Structures are given as C-alpha cells and as structure tokens.
Amino acid sequence: MTIDQILEANADKYEEELCELLRIPSVSADSTHAPDVRKAAKWVADQFTRLDFPTEIVETAGHPIVLASSPPVEGAPTVLVYGHYDVQPPDPLEEWISPPFEPTRRNGNIYARGATDDKGQMLTHIKSAEAWMAVEGKLPVNVKYIIEGEEEVGSAHLEQFIADNKQRLACDCVVVSDSSQFAAGQPAITYGLKGIAYFELRLHGPKQDLHSGTFGGAVTNPANTLCKMLAALSDEDGRVQLEGFYDDVTPLSENERAQFAELPFSDETFMTQLGIDGVTGESGYSTLERRWARPTYDINGLWSGYQGEGAKTVLPARAGAKLSFRLVPNQEPAKIAAALRAKIEELCPPGINWELKEFHSAHGVVVSLDSPYMKAAALAIEAGFGRAPVFIREGGSIPVVNTFKEILGVDTLLLGWGLDDDNTHSPNEKFSLADFHRGIKASAHLWQELAKI
C-alpha cells in the first residue's frame, strides 16, 4: 500500500481517534478540569509511544508539555511540530446544538470544543507520521513534536521551556497548524505576521476634578489634551506620525501586491460582514495590504471624566488611553516606544503630566516565499487539498512564532487547515472532516517534500 492508500483505508479510525481526544474536556483555564488536561496529555503521549517514538510528558508549573520525536534520519532536515491539546472553556453551554464534549457529525463537520483549535489540526501531523511508520517503518525526515497544554491560557511556561531546551528542540523549521485556510476550498500558507507595541498613556491635570464652568478654558483639560495627542499620532492619509516610524518598514514587494490583488476578496463583502458602510486606512493601499502588511495605529481604550447618564459639568483631573501599533517585519518595538515618548513629550502642554506604560511587544515576522520549506509546504498542500495554496499574511501576532524565531532561530510554517467560520472560542466549534483528512494527507506529503530539500 502507498501512504495515500493507507490514509484512505484508515479514515474512519482517524475520525474515531479524533473523537476520543475531543471527548476529554481538557479546559486549561478551569482548575477543576486539571485531571482532564492531564488525561489529554497522556492520550497524546500514547499516540507517540504506540509508534515507538521516544516520548516524554514534561511537567511544568502549570499543565504538562508532551515531547516526542520520530526515528532519526541522518542528513535529513529536522521539523518541529508545535500544537496544543488544551481547549477554551465551552461556555455559554446553552448555545451548543450538541454537547461540546460529545463530538457530533453534521453536514460533513465534526462539532466539539477543540475540533479545529487545535486537537483536530494538531492530530493531522501525528496521523501522517503513523501512516509513514506503517508503510515505510520510518519517516523521511526528523520530526520532533512539542504539544503543550497551556495555549489557551497564555502559554505561561512555554517560552522558558524552549529557552531551557534549545538543543533538544533544535530544528530547521517549525510547522504549526492552528489557523485557517483563506476560504473554503482555498488552502493557504500564512507567511507573515505583524508585530505589536502596546501602550497605556495616562495624563494627569489638576489634583482633583474641577467645575468646568469655573475653571474651563483656563486649566488645561486632560481629556482635550488626550484627544489632541492621540489625533496627532496619525495624519489625514492614515500615516503614523512618529519620527522614523516608516524608516525600517520592509515594503510590500510587487509580487506580494499582485498576489494579494488576485485573492477572492471584496471590500463590499467585508463591509457587509462587519456592518460598516466604508473602509479607511493608509492611503495607497488596499484593505488586505492594510490588514496584513502595513503598520497600523489603533486606540484600544479611552477613558476620562464622566461616563454616566446625563450631563456632569466636570473638568476631569485625569484621562487615559490604551493604544497599540501593529508592526511589520524589521520595525523595532523599542524604537517605536522611544519615538512615541518623544512625540508625547513634544505635544504635552503646560498643566499636564504624562505617564506611559509599555505592555507587551513583538516583532513582525515574515518567511521568504523563496524559502525551500515554503515551497515544500506548497507542494504538500497541493497534494493534500487538490489545490495550490495562496500565500497570505495576518495582522495579528502569534507569540510562539516569535519565540521560535528568537530562541531557536527558525521560521515557522503556518499551515491552517481550519475555516474562518469554525467558531473557535465560541459555541458550536467545528472542523470539516474532509479538511481533517486533507490535512493528514498534506502533512504526509510534507515529510516527503521536506526530505527532498
């Protein structure tokens, strides 16, 4: 039998095994489920021990990490598969059509908490190894697995573990399947993520709230000042007005722009989905370019003075905001923070003191489209899904991708088998069973393609 044939022969078994895993309510956020989380770790570890892979359940101060590795193949590339076996809480329970931990098939999908995020997607890379072991007795490359149980609660112990186990985790590239295809029937490889620099700005004016009649117009109003400052951080063309903000920006290549433009994306559909009557942003760029590959500036929160019903004639003593910049590769969060401080200092009028708190930051990452790993992944996906993937980027950050880049020095291939409407983190989470099997096939072909590098 060929690999593809064995995958077909075992399709039912794979689904049954997925259901087994989905029945374990491994909710990492809920301490009453700690035994279930451990049970899921054990279930995953058993998958590997059955293949005779060296396997370890590593304890952390939180939930355990499962490590395993395929039989060594001298001279072949080494791939690190990252995934997670923990799931989001299922609430609100009453909105589930079928119970979250009783996996149910409907319309070609399997419905359960964790179906797509990430039990179903993660499992594809184990089943593909199983098929290779059955047919060939080995894999054509070295595959290491790191499957954690704290992804849904912030991966608190992962970064330190990776830093402490650099040698053990050393690899040529990382593979993560924990995201979505571009659209149903259109697989994608996410080759870029934005970075972020997130801040809280607090302005302090008079020592207490004042009567806006008695003092207004003469005492600098922190709320007015906050609006002036935050407004001054971007211009009418949607360009961020911090010194040197665009200096290090890696521009979109003509090739990327052409690829984005070819994607089946329409502003009209996008607007309808969000309930808005127009889009705006940095001038000279399309919506997808703005979302995926241009740095942005968003106010995430605002507060000052009186927020209740009716009118209160107060000149507020304080005003504050949360604001963040999404960064593209090559932009340095620390430089952005320094430029923001300089700008605020420049804009701050007499009568106001300011305070800037720096929250998390991350670099943007992008994997070269010319990377041999990327090309291997594209061929594998085409083999698995029957259609070549499109290459997309994403405006969010995935911290673990930065961790792998910064600590292990390697790029991550983001191969999403899910769909945007899979209801991750919501009731009625689902995963297409067809995509589950296509994902296994793509993964099996990925080992093959990577072996050719």
Positions 140 through 199 that interact with a copy of itself (CB under 8 A): 194, 196, 198
Candidates 291, 430, 441, 445; binder of a copy of itself (CB under 8 A) is 291
**Minimum CB separation from a copy of itself for residue 325, in Å?**
9
Among 140, 351, 399, 427, binds a copy of itself (CB under 8 A): 351
Q: CA–CA separation, 366 vs 1, rounded Å?
A: 39
| Beta carbons of 96 and 410 less than 8 angstroms apart | no
Question: Can you list the alpha helix ranges (DSSP code H) found in 102-193?
Answer: 120-136, 158-164, 166-169
- Beta-ladder partners of 314: 211
Q: How many CA atoms lie within 13 A of 451 on its CB side?
A: 16
What letter does residue 1 receive in the DSSP assignment? -
CA distance 333 to 198: 9
- Least separation, in Å, of the C-beta of 260 and a copy of itself? 12
Q: Does 336 bind a copy of itself (CB under 8 A)?
A: no
Closer to a copy of itself by CB, 125 or 326: give it. 326
304 binds a copy of itself (CB under 8 A): yes
Of 5, 160, 300, 368, the one binding a copy of itself by CB under 8 A: 300
Q: Binding a copy of itself by CB under 8 A: which of 290, 343, 441, 445?
A: 290
Least spacing, CB of residue 174 vs a copy of itself, in Å: 20
CB contact burial 77-109 (16+ within 10 A = b; e otherwise): bbbbbbbbbbbbbbeeeeebeeebbebbeeeeb
Residue 277 binding a copy of itself, by CB under 8 A: yes
Does the protein bind a copy of itself through residue 105 (CB under 8 A)? no
C-beta of residue 121 within 8 angstroms of C-beta of residue 22: no
| CA-to-CA dists, residue 309 to 216, 222, 312, angstroms | 21, 21, 9
Instruction: Answer for the pair 289, 389: CB distance below 8 angstroms, yes or no.
Output: no
Phi, then psi, of 202 in degrees rounded to 5: -125, 130
45 counts as binding a copy of itself under rule CB under 8 A: no
Tokens representing 368 are 């070269």
Cβ closest to a copy of itself, residue 403 vs residue 424:
424
Select the residue interacting with a copy of itself from 213, 237, 268, 370 (CB under 8 A).
Answer: 213
Instruction: Name residues contacting a copy of itself, limited to 367-406 (CB under 8 A).
Output: 394-397
217-246: contacts with a copy of itself (CB under 8 A): 217-221, 223-224, 226-228, 230-232, 234, 238
CB of 185 to a copy of itself, least distance (A): 21
CB 327 within 8 A of CB 231: no
How many residues form the binding site for a copy of itself (CB under 8 A)? 80
Q: Which two tokens stand for residue 56?
A: 């370890």
Residue 116: CB minimum distance to a copy of itself, A: 17
